[in-house]
C-alpha cells in the first residue's frame, strides 16, 4: 500500500476523498445505488469510466483513463444524459495535484460498492488529457470481430471482454430516447434495464443463461444491435457459465474493473494502492500571533471501537538556539473529536476516525523545525511515537507563512494574506490558486500577485502581503504560495485556507 510521508498533496487529497465522507461527490452521491434518470448514478459513473478508458491503445501506449471524455461526451458513441451529469458530479473534486481522471476512476469503484458489489483497490496519479482522444468506444451495431479488436486494443482478450461487458451491464440499461432503434418497445421508465435487479450482481448472467433476459442487447428485435448476445455467446457460453457463481463474478469484476480504471497512457505511473492511513497529519497552520508563532495541527488516527482513546502529546524542536527541554517542547490536545468515515472506509474495517487537534504557542525567536507525537494508551505500555515513518514532520521554513487569521476567505471575493519574516525587501510573492466550477473544463488555475498590505501593520517580526482573488461561481480548491526572498525560493501548499 502507498506510504504517506507528510506532506504529500496527491496522496493526502486522494485519501481524504476516498475515506472521509463529504470531501468529494464520489463517496456520497451514488450511495444505496441511488436512482437517477430511470437508471442509477452508479450505472452512469461506471459507463463514464469505461468510455473514458475505451480509447486506450495498448500498442502505442496512448489514451486510457485520462478524462479525455470531457472533450468527447457529445459524440454519438457517448450519447446519454448520464455522461455530462456524471462529469459534473466530479466538477469540484480536482485540485492542483488531483485531476478529473482520478475522480472518474474513484467514481467507478464507489459505483460498484454503492450497489452492493466488491471492493476494488484504488491507485491515483492519473493525468488529465487536454484534448479529445480517438473515437474508439465500441457500439452495439458493430460485429463481433470489431468488438474483439476494440477490446484487444484496450488490453483485454476475448474472455476478458465477455467478463468486462457482463460486469458493466450488471448495472443500468439502454434508454429509448438515446437508442430508439434498439429499445423499440414502449418502456414506462424510458429505459430497458439489462437485468431485473438494480444492484451490482450476476442476475444478468442468470437471466441470460436461462433465457429470461430482457436485455435489449441480447433479445432486442433489432438483430444488428444484439452486441451482448454476440459477445456473451462468442465462446459457446463457457465464460458466462463461469460467471454464474456469484463469488466468481465478484472476483472477476473486481479484477477487471480494477484493470480498466488502471489503464492509463504508458507515460503515467500510478501510485501504490491507497489504503486508509493509520496516522494522518492535517490542517497545519503556522502564523505570527500576539508575540508568538501559533502552530495548529491535527492528527487523525483510525479509531478502534473497543480500545481506549489514547492520550496524545505533540512535541517539537526549535529551529535555532535553545528554548525547549532536551526532549522537546510539548503540548496536549486542544480538542478531541470523532470524524465519520466513508462507506468505502467502513467496508475496509474503519468505523470512524479520532481527530486530535493541537494549538501550540511557539517561541518567536527560536521558532520550530519539526514536530512529532506520542500516543499513550494509558495501560502501562510504552507510548507509541508517531513521527512520519521515522522522518519527523518537518517544517521546512518559517520565512513565508500563510496567515489564516489575517486572510478573509468569504466567497466569492477572498483576500489571502502571507506573512514574510523581516522588514521585507521587496519580496516576490505569488499564489497558484486552483478554482473549480461547473463550466467545462471545471478546473482552472490563476496566479495572483501579493503586494504589501498597508492595512496590516508589521507585527511579531513579520511583514504582511495580500492578494485578492475574485471567484464568482467557483470554489477555491487549493493554493500553493510561491515566494522569492533575497534570491531564495520558498513554496508552501495550503490545502485549506480556513482553520475551521
List residues binding ligand HEM (CB under 6 A). Answer: 39, 43-44, 46-47, 50, 80, 82, 138-140, 147, 164-165, 167-169, 171-175, 178-179, 227
**Block residue for cell numbers 521554513:** 397
Closer CB to ligand HEM, 14 or 260, in the complex:
260
Q: Per-residue b/e over 6-15, b at no fewer than 16 CB within 10 Å? A: bbbebbbbbb
Closer CB to ligand HEM, 41 or 355, in the complex:
41
- CB 311: neighbour CB atoms within 10 A? 15
Closer CB to ligand HEM, 50 or 465, in the complex:
50
Residue 156 CB, shortest distance to ligand HEM, in Å, is: 8
Residue 79 CB, shortest distance to ligand HEM, in Å, is: 7
Residue 83 CB, shortest distance to ligand HEM, in Å, is: 8
In 158-227, beta strands by DSSP E: 173-175, 191-193
Q: Which residues is 361 bridged to in the sheet?
A: 294
Q: Yes or no: say if 92 and 23 are a contact pair by the CB < 8 Å rule.
A: no
- Backbone torsions φ then ψ of 277, nearest 5 degrees: -75, 135
Terminal-to-terminal C-alpha distance of the chain: 30
33: cell is 445505488
Residue 198: closest CA among 41, 343, 25: 41
Closer CB to ligand HEM, 7 or 134, in the complex:
134
Residue 73 CB, shortest distance to ligand HEM, in Å, is: 11
Residue 11 CB, shortest distance to ligand HEM, in Å, is: 27
In 259-310, beta strands by DSSP E: 279-289, 292-302
Q: Which residues is 434 bridged to in the sheet?
A: 445, 478
Closer CB to ligand HEM, 227 or 434, in the complex:
227
Closer CB to ligand HEM, 39 or 333, in the complex:
39
Residue 139 CB, shortest distance to ligand HEM, in Å, is: 5
Closer CB to ligand HEM, 140 or 495, in the complex:
140
Q: Yes or no: say if 233 and 209 are a contact pair by the CB < 8 Å rule.
A: no
Residue 191 CB, shortest distance to ligand HEM, in Å, is: 7
Amino acid at each position: 500500500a502507498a506510504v504517506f510521508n507528510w506532506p504529500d498533496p496527491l496522496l493526502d487529497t486522494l485519501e481524504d476523498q476516498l475515506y472521509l465522507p463529504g470531501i468529494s461527490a464520489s463517496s456520497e452521491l451514488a450511495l444505496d445505488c441511488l436512482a437517477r434518470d430511470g437508471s442509477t448514478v452508479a450505472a452512469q459513473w461506471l459507463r463514464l469510466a469505461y468510455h473514458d478508458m475505451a480509447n486506450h491503445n495498448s500498442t502505442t501506449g496512448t489514451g486510457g483513463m485520462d478524462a479525455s471524455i470531457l472533450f468527447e461526451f457529445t459524440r454519438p458513441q457517448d450519447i446519454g444524459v448520464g455522461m455530462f451529469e456524471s462529469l459534473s458530479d466530479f466538477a469540484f473534486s480536482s485540485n492542483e495535484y488531483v485531476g478529473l481522471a482520478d475522480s472518474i476512476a474513484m467514481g467507478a469503484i464507489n459505483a460498484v460498492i454503492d450497489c452492493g458489489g466488491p471492493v476494488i483497490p484504488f491507485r491515483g496519479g492519473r493525468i488529465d488529457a487536454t484534448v479529445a482522444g480517438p473515437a474508439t468506444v465500441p457500439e452495439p451495431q458493430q460485429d463481433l470481430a470489431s468488438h474483439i479488436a476494440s477490446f484487444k486494443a484496450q488490453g483485454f482478450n476475448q474472455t476478458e471482454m465477455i467478463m468486462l461487458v457482463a460486469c458493466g451491464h450488471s448495472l443500468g440499461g439502454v434508454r429509448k430516447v438515446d437508442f430508439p432503434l434498439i429499445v423499440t418497445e414502449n418502456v414506462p421508465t424510458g429505459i430497458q434495464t439489462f437485468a431485473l435487479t438494480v444492484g451490482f450482481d450476476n442476475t444478468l448472467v442468470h437471466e441470460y443463461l436461462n433465457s429470461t433476459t430482457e436485455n435489449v442487447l441480447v433479445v432486442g428485435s433489432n438483430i444488428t444491435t444484439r452486441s451482448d448476445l454476440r459477445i456473451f455467446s462468442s465462446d459457446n457460453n463457457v465464460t458466462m457459465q463461469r460467471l454464474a457463481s456469484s463469488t466468481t463474478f465478484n472476483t472477476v469484476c473486481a479484477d477487471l474493473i480494477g484493470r480498466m480504471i488502471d489503464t492509463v497512457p504508458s507515460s503515467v505511473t500510478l501510485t501504490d494502492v491507497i489504503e486508509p492511513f493509520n496516522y494522518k497529519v492535517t490542517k497545519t497552520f503556522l502564523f505570527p500571533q500576539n508575540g508568538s508563532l501559533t502552530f495548529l495541527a491535527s492528527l487523525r488516527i483510525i479509531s478502534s471501537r473497543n480500545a481506549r482513546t489514547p492520550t496524545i502529546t505533540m512535541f517539537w524542536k526549535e529551529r535555532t538556539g535553545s528554548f525547549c527541554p532536551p526532549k522537546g517542547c510539548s503540548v496536549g490536545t486542544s480538542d478531541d473529536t470523532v470524524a465519520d468515515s466513508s462507506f468505502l472506509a467502513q467496508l475496509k474495517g474503519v468505523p470512524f476516525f479520532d481527530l486530535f487537534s493541537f494549538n501550540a504557542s511557539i517561541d518567536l525567536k527560536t521558532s520550530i523545525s519539526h514536530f512529532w507525537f506520542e500516543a499513550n494508551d494509558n495501560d502501562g505500555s510504552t507510548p507509541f511515537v508517531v513521527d512520519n515513518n521515522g522522518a519527523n514532520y518537518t517544517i521546512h521554513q518559517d520565512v513565508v507563512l500563510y496567515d489564516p487569521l489575517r486572510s478573509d476567505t468569504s466567497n466569492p471575493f477572498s483576500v489571502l494574506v502571507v506573512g514574510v519574516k523581516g522588514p521585507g525587501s521587496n519580496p516576490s510573492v505569488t499564489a497558484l490558486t486552483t478554482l473549480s466550477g461547473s463550466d467545462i473544463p471545471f478546473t482552472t488555475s490563476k496566479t495572483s500577485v501579493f503586494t504589501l498590505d498597508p492595512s496590516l501593520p508589521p507585527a511579531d517580526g513579520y511583514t504582511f502581503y495580500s492578494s485578492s482573488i475574485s471567484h464568482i461561481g467557483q470554489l477555491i480548491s487549493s493554493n500553493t504560495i510561491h515566494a522569492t526572498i533575497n534570491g531564495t525560493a520558498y513554496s508552501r501548499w495550503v490545502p485549506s485556507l480556513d482553520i475551521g
